Amino acid sequence: MRRFPHALPAVVFVLLLGACTAPESPPSAAVVIDSARAAHGASVLDRAVVALDFRGDAYRLRQDGGDFHYRRASTDSLGRSVTEGLTNDGRYRVVEGDTVSLSASERAAVETTVNSVAYFALLPAPLGDPAVQPTYSGRDTIDGVPYHRVKVTFQQEDGGPDWEDVFVYWFRVDTYDMDYLAYAYGQGPEEEAGTRFREAYNVRRRGGVRVADYHNYTADSLTADQLARYPDLLESGALERVSEIEIDSVQVRPL
């Protein structure tokens, strides 16, 4: 009868162990997003009013389950008080207390202006929207810190007028903080395309919700399928800073 030796050499044992160990599967993009939303306080935002100032305008973002009301109060070039907003029922504009009718292009402009500020201010909470299509695309190390990289596209139905935009988010592996994001805009026909990269700073908590300002960068040569290159370009100093995204006087009031 053939017998096995009582002990295998250590090197053979290690090789056999390695052969039997399956490679680690990448995490689910949905799980990463859910963890990030929880870490940032999305459960608070589900039923809350967020007040903030952005570039001189006052915003009030109200969410109550599936109902929402986002509005902006500003002063126009004639010195008149203007309130613009969007709800589940549509878009509106009020000038000096009077509601004015809006053309299709004006309604789209109100949605773009108000919704874009709300979207970025509330991230990553909006990534729980049914139109979001997330894909786990790898891990990166940025400034010595490991991050999950998640790509997001949108379904056309309920994806909004900019449903063809592409986003990439970087969430810390240990805390799921969203410290970086990149996006490609103008991806529809006959639109002016471009990309941006944002780096979080001045991170703070308001009412249990993580809030941050962002350095806003660009690289003219990058396209929508190259967004993952942004961290390397940041660390090599090859990016152009185009603006600062600062939100002030943030208050979060649960309903």
pLDDT in tens, the chain (255 residues): 334 344 444 444 444 445 455 557 888 999 999 999 999 999 999 999 999 999 999 999 999 988 999 999 999 999 999 999 999 999 999 999 999 999 999 999 999 899 999 999 999 999 999 999 999 999 999 999 999 999 999 998 888 788 899 999 999 999 999 999 999 998 888 788 899 999 999 999 999 999 999 999 999 889 999 999 999 999 999 999 999 999 999 999 999
Q: Would residue 8 count as lying in a domain?
A: no
Structural domain total, the chain: 1
Residue 52: inside a domain: yes
**Residues pairing with 147 in the sheet:** 140, 172
In a domain, 73, yes or no: yes
For the chain, the distance separating the N- and C-terminal CA atoms, rounded to the nearest angstrom, is 78
Q: Is residue 198 part of a domain?
A: yes
Q: What is the pLDDT of residue 86?
A: 95
Question: Model-level pTM?
Answer: 0.88
The Cα 114–Cα 83 span in angstroms is 10
Is residue 110 included in any domain, yes or no?
yes
**Given this model, what pLDDT does residue 96 score?**
96
172 and 145 Cβ atoms separated by less than 8 Å: yes
On whether residue 3 sits in a domain, the answer given is no
- Domain extent, residue 242, equals 29-250
Inside any domain, residue 214:
yes
CB 59, CB 72: distance < 8 Å: yes
Q: How far apart are CA 83 and CA 9, in angstroms?
A: 77
Long-range contacts of 58-64, Cβ-Cβ distance < 8 Å, separation of 24 or more: 59/114, 59/117, 59/118, 59/121, 61/118, 61/121, 61/122, 62/255, 64/255
CATH code where residue 231 lies? 2.50.20
pLDDT value of position 190: 76
Q: Is residue 9 part of a domain?
A: no
Tokens of 5: 């030796």
